[in-house]
Structure 1
Amino acid sequence: MPSAVVSSQGAVSVLRFGRAAAMGTVAVLILIAGVWASWGTAHHVMLTKGRESGTIEVTGCGADTCSGPYTPISAGSQPRASVVIEKNVAVRKGQTYTVVVKPGSDDVVRSGPAGVLYAWVPLGGALLLASVVVAGGLRRTRAAWVMAGSGIALLTAAFVTI
């Protein structure tokens, strides 16, 4: 009889480890996807040394993008008759925004605190999603609350700043 009890305890331990490994992997993959999605824009905004920076006055908007003339601020930057910025809730016709030019193109992204926070919005969403996996799959409620709080703080800061 003792061997049957030991055997079932071993099986439970293996299943717990398997669940923890699977849910941990899912949580890490969600966070990596959030960083990956954010970094495409964030590196232009955060690593500005040697990049052209200036302002755009939005003069027209299409379905997905807005455009307008670019006025340089940084040394070596050239004025452009028209640059393109992604159309989102924070870009309005007639407004002027500080931007960074993506190298080798006429595409720009917002700079400054608003641009940095907006670039990291996908990570905020990933933190919220991963917190559910950590709470439910890993049974780590404190860590999940910290992750959810961080995601909410990031999303709220981006909303308020933009």
Structure 2
Amino acid sequence: MSATTRTVRRSFARRAGESAFGVLLLVRYLLLGLLTLLIVVGGFLGSWDTARDAMSPGDLPQGRLTLAACSDDACTGVFEPSGATVALVQPIAREPGETLDVAVYEDTGEAIRTGLPGVLYSWLPLMGALLLASVVIAGGLRMYRVAAATGATALAALGLTFALWI
């Protein structure tokens, strides 16, 4: 006896439902991918103005800032070589008498740190965005290894930033 195979044709409704489900999955991946991209680009743009000047001060005057007085959110001190009094806005209180490498915005009298600690500190918004993006990557896109690598990289950079900043 020979076995005959019988092809059963699926109904139109079932084929349409399977196609619609595939389209919904594709739309989900596209929207979550765009959300992830938006988060990372927002972090990059939030960091770029300060990071650009911390990495390459260009025309900004560079020198050392000797701290004279510090509060919880800013320190003021004398900028060498000009001798002007400038402010360094920061969330970590420092001790008067410390000297830091800075670049100064002449129009506002505000200083930003340069060197590796200043560069890492200026990229903090991007690091936070990468942490948030790793949650979206893991939870929405189900790409667990990529999310773990993204989150671990951001956490390592955050840890290094605060280790060098203090």
Settle same-fold status: TM greater than 0.5: yes
SS of 1:89's equivalent in the other structure is: coil
Query: How many residues align structurally?
Result: 156
> Shift in Å at residue 47 of structure 1?
1.7
Aligned partners of 1:41, 1:119: CA distance in 2, in Å?
6
Mapped pair 1:152 → 2:161: no
Q: Which consecutive unaligned segments of at least 5 residues does structure 1 have?
A: 73-78
Residue 76 (structure 1) aligns with: none
Which has the larger displacement, 130-139 or 39-48? Answer: 39-48
Aligned to 1:19: 28
1:68 offset after TM fit, Å?
Answer: 0.7
Q: Does 1:137 align with 2:140?
A: yes
Cα displacement (A) at 1:90: 5.9
- Cα distance change on mapping 1:88 and 1:94 into 2, 3 Å: farther
Which of 53, 61, 77 aligns to 1:68? It is 77
1:43-102 Cα distance to aligned partner (Å, 9 max, x none): 111122332100111111345322111003xxxxxx133011103216433211110112
- Out of 109, 115, 119, the position equivalent to 2:118 is 115
Q: TM-score, normalised by structure 1?
A: 0.89
Counterparts of residues 30-109 of structure 1 (less than 5 Å): 30-62=39-71, 64-72=73-81, 79-89=82-92, 91-109=94-112
Q: Residue 87 of structure 2 aligns to a residue in which SS?
A: strand
Pair member with larger Rg = 2
User: Gaps (5+ residues) in structure 2?
Assistant: 1-9
Moved more, 39-48 or 125-134: 39-48
User: Which of 61-70 and 22-31 deviates more?
Assistant: 61-70
**What SS does the aligned partner of 1:48 have?**
coil
Q: Tell me, what secondary structure is at the counterpart of 1:98?
A: strand
Mapped to 1, the partners of 2:35 and 2:106 lie a distance apart of 34
* Structure 2: distance between partners of 1:19 and 1:102: 45
The alignment status of 1:127 with 2:116, answered yes or no, reads no
Shift of 1:11: 1.1
Q: Is the 8 A contact 1:44 1:102 kept in 2?
A: no
The whole-number CA distance in structure 2 between the counterparts of 1:106 and 1:55 is 14
Moved over 3 A (4+): none
Distance, in Å, in 1 between the alignment partners of 2:106 and 2:135 is 38
